[in-house]
Structure 1
Amino acid sequence: MKNIVYVLILVVINFNCKEAKKEEAIDAPFRIELDESVEALSDSIQIKNIQVGSDTSNDKNKLHISYPSTVYNFINNDQEAFAQSYLKEFEAAAKGKNEEAIAGLDFGQHFELVASSPTVLTFLIERYTSYGNNYDTQFFTYVYDVKDQKRLPFSRLFSPKENFEKLATIVQSETKAILKEKIAAMEGVSASDKEALWNNAEEMLIEGTMPSDENYDGFSWDASGKLTIYFDKYQVASGNFGAIEVKLSPDSYRHLVAEKYLEVFLIPAEKGEEILPTEKEPKTAETSFEVDCSKEPCVAITFDDGPAKYTTQLLDILKKHEVKATFFVLGKSAKVQKNTLLRAYKEGHQIGNHSWDHKDLKRLSEEAVIQQINETNEVISNIIGEDVQVLRPPYGSLNDMVKAHANMPIILWNLDPLDWKDRKTDIVAERISEASINGIVLAHDIHPSTVAAMPQVISNLKAKGYHLVTIENLFAGKELEEGKVYSRRR
């Protein structure tokens, strides 16, 4: 994916401070109210979040939504409405869910910045939805003309209408080839049955690839201009074929793009606002720390699910009070807020792996678990120039298969302040301040109430004589084993 961000504008936004209301129950209808604060943006595009259910495996119904926050209000309003629509879908499903069901809901939404230019911003939104079994994935693409302040449908990019129709014909042909190949590869199926499968699929394929914005609502392109069209499960074939992706080279569609938007797809290589390390520098020796946690009382506060809109403010607080923390980040979010992550690392905080997009790893295949871990490691290490040392699975949910493929120590916690649920600064501060010696605290930098609680937390814990350190510092001198779970230093 092309992930180039031009400097749009540096702004300092002044907001009135207010606290979010405490939610009494997971299935109670609500609209997330975000505390507002002063924040200087270190990345042109920030990440906002909505979360239901904590990072423990005790909550059956879970939702995690990430969506973009930009300097353009019309984009922010549109993305807020889209995120809220998914929250309402989750609430409705949670109300109708049988309480005796073994597996609960797991809804997730994350996004990638496909491309950014002075005139157009493009986001690819991915939603994965599980009603207790497998995940179904959907893609939605939002292309915004920032000059005219409007969203551009697929048909506008491939206008006039005749061009869209020609493109649909190309896509239909490629989709036929993909399905025929899948049918031909089926084992234990007779030739006559394969022919019947194709005959049944053809009508559905034609309808699903017709030139309409509804059919072509998910697409992206990479640095070379290669265009990918995403067809949801059941859109162009029966469910056993799964979701279908059609990839087109620039030469196959370039002539059909509206002249005004040609440059959107053919992005020049490697320009951007971030300055990142070019070479990874793996550790060759153990880091020395000022605090020896085998002799001094220590606490490791950890922050999950970022980087996000409020991470910059949190870094300001940690820097002011001269304390360190560990950030367990999502790969997709790290790709968006590279500068924020790089700043955290440079200021002495530890960066850990929290999966690619917050799926429950226990529900995934072995291949998918490996992908979640490895892709996140790659993104993080490319940004900070160092190998990732620790893993925290989303929801703290794991099994033997996850442990086997972690290839890192697994870090959980012994104190959960429920900051995802009780979003009042004083309550969060009080609970985190109950941290015990050599303990690990779970917190979330996606919640402004948690960030706002940190000055009081730091003051309270320092008053008890505790040193606030990274996970690496907490366990310094101990040999942590790959795949083994740790919730405190013993």
Structure 2
Amino acid sequence: MKSAKAKITFSILLILGLFVVGYFVNIMLRSNDDYASEADKDEKRIEVSKYPGVDLVTEITEKKNYNMAIHYPKFKSDKLNTEMEGYASSVKEDFLAIVEESKEYIKDRAAVLSLAMEIHPVVENVYSIVFSEESYVVGANAQQKAKVYIVDAKKSDFIQKTKILKDTKRNREQLYALINKKFKESKEYSPLLLEDGLKIWAADPNNKLNGMYFTDKAAVFQFDKYEVTAGAAGMPKISIPLDEMQNLLTDEWKEKLQIENDKKDEKDDSKNNTKDKDKPQEDKPVKDDASPKGGKRVALTFDDGPHPKNTLKILDLLEKYDAKATFFMLGNRVDFYPEIVKEVADQGHELGNHTWNHKDLTTLSKAEGIKEVERTNQAIKSAAGRESTAFRPPYGAVNKQVQSAISSPTVFWTIDTLDWKSHNPAAILNIVQENVRDGSIILMHDIHATTSEAVESILKYLKKEGYEFVSVSEL
């Protein structure tokens, strides 16, 4: 009898023991999953921008077979965010599906996806969000698409184009005439215009004017590649000043846009007066009193910024160790954080151009590549008061066409810290320690918090080893 009870008790204890073990194993597995999830999320960063109520989400992924650079806005509204996140996810999923289908053909060149975003204030709390999707997997041509949203951040809603533009047959005819005129006036687009395609676009009753958006000064029409022009035009944009669009606007928006324009003109006049006074200071070149010391020298370079927190932290560390560096910046981020660019310049660091949207320039036409670089140059000069003096192509992808189109020196690297991959300050430092020598150019990315954590240990180590920190141009 006692033996039977003992067996039952043992069985119950065994079951309870297995349950407890299973419970803790499950907790551990969930913890591991959470850790993996956190590691994945580390590729996804949310940063405060200069636009009220709008943050910037950035995902940059670099794999053996593909590279992705994805940007989209984050609002305070769940409704707006659901749409933005859903759109970005659908673009990413479609791209990865094509990569999977084509993986046996992807050999010499990794597939590339760039989902870039521009934001244009229209009136208070109203923004045009303009996405440019560009991908290359295999074949001869990159795929290019555009998508536009007009959002009211305060009301947490999307604004339909027909609320702004009166969509009638007569207005469509006038719109065609305006756009056609602008195309023909453009030296860049005129030879590439497919006029019949534009007529079809304007007359199509199913055309919801999806590529149309507004700034505070103009209506802009963004077309997909091949839609109304030959492929060499890429995704053409035609801008029509609002005063030429007055008759096509609804009464509500005619009033809103005109009032805002009047105020904007006053502000712009005030800014121009201030700018004229400050112009001699802005144009004054930065004096470099440093002289070669004849010792070992190394160039620290930072790509993909600026970042509102990490870049400032790195600047503080560089100042602490009396170090100069080169920052290769993306134009679309310069637009979001001009004050950070100004700080980089004011502290005497070299300004580098890393294109506007982090696109693989070897997949673009020469005209598109030039536009990526020149637009970034203009943004850097506007923010910093001086131009960039070096250029680094995204992914290090360059060919003769790219080289012939870029006037600034093209700068690569000799040490890739793989900071984007490891997110481990100790691992980043170890790569530097094992590979550094006189004249090394070290590649890092100031968009990663873990990189900013690694910088001090790198500076400390290299200074102890007798290295002087200079810009790439000084090398």
TM-score range, shorter chain: 0.7 to 0.9
Q: Given the two structures, how large is their TM-score scaled by the length of structure 2?
A: 0.73
Residues 136 and 122 of structure 1: CA distance in aligned 2, closer, same or farther (over 3 Å): same
SS in structure 1 of the partner of residue 265 of structure 2:
coil
CA–CA separation in structure 1 for the residues paired with 2:199 and 2:122: 37
Cα distance 1:41–1:299, how it changes in 2: closer, same or farther (>3 A)? farther
Pairing of 1:392-431 with structure 2 (within 5 A) = 392-431=392-431
**Could you tell me how far 1:342 is from its partner in structure 2?**
0.7
**What amino acid sits opposite 2:245 in the alignment?**
Y
Q: How far has the Cα of 1:176 moved from its partner?
A: 7.1
- For residue 212 of structure 2, the aligned residue among 210, 219, 227 is 219
Q: Which SS does the other structure have where 2:245 is aligned?
A: helix
Instruction: Tell me, yes or no, if the aligned pair for 2:65 and 2:103 is still in contact at 8 Å.
Output: no
- Tell me the alpha carbon deviations over residues 289-314 of structure 1, each in whole angstroms, 9 at most, x when there is no partner: 26x35x23332211112223543444
Tell me what 1:51 maps to. 60
Which of 143, 148, 151 lines up with 2:155 in the alignment? 148
Provide structure 2 residue ranges, at least 5 long, that are not aligned to the other structure: 1-33
**1:22–1:422 CA contact under 8 A, matched in 2:** no
Q: Please, which runs of 5 or more residues in structure 1 have no aligned partner?
A: 1-17, 24-29, 188-193, 476-490
CA 1:42–1:325: 2 relative to 1, 3 Å: farther
Percent identity between the two aligned chains: 24
Paired with 1:443 and 1:142, the residues of 2 have a C-alpha distance of 34
Output the amino acid matched with 1:164.
D
The Cα of 1:129 is off from its aligned counterpart by 2.1
Q: Using the alignment, how far apart are the partners of 2:254 and 2:307 within structure 1?
A: 30
Aligned to 2:104: 99
What amino acid is aligned across from residue 440 of structure 1 in structure 2?
I
Moved more, 91-100 or 170-179: 170-179
Higher deviation after alignment, 42-51 or 236-245: 236-245
**Gap change, CA 1:334 and 1:41, over 3 Å in 2:** closer
Shift of residue 222 of structure 1?
4.7
Moved more, 66-75 or 366-375: 66-75
Please give the residue correspondences for 1:278-427 in structure 2 after superposition, counting only pairs within 5 Å: 278=279, 281=283, 283=285, 287-289=288-290, 292=292, 295-309=294-308, 310-319=310-319, 322-427=322-427
Give the structure with the larger helix fraction.
2
What one-letter code is carried by the residue in structure 2 that aligns with 1:400? K
Q: CA deviation at 1:337?
A: 1.7
Distance in 1 (CA, whole Å) between partners of 2:155 and 2:241 is 29
Aligned residue for 1:302, secondary structure, equals strand
Partner of residue 25, structure 2: none
CA distance in 1, matches of 2:48, 2:242: 38
Tell me the distance in 1 between the aligned counterparts of 2:470 and 2:234.
Answer: 45
Q: CA deviation at 1:240?
A: 9.3
1:346-390 CA distance string (max 9 Å, x none):
122211111232222223333333333333222222322223221
TM-score (norm 1): 0.71
* Distance of 2:76 and 2:321 partners within structure 1: 30
**1:157 corresponding residue in structure 2:** 164
CA contact (8 A) 1:134 1:363 kept: yes
Alpha-carbon distance in structure 1 between the residues aligned to 2:351 and 2:432: 21
Structure with higher Rg: it is 2
Moved more, 100-109 or 76-85: 76-85
Q: Report the aligned-residue RMSD.
A: 4.1
Is 1:263–2:267 an aligned residue pair? no
Q: Distance in 2 between matches of 1:230 and 1:451?
A: 38
Q: Which has the higher contact order (CA 8 A, sep 6+)?
A: 1
One-letter identity of the residue aligned with 2:283: E
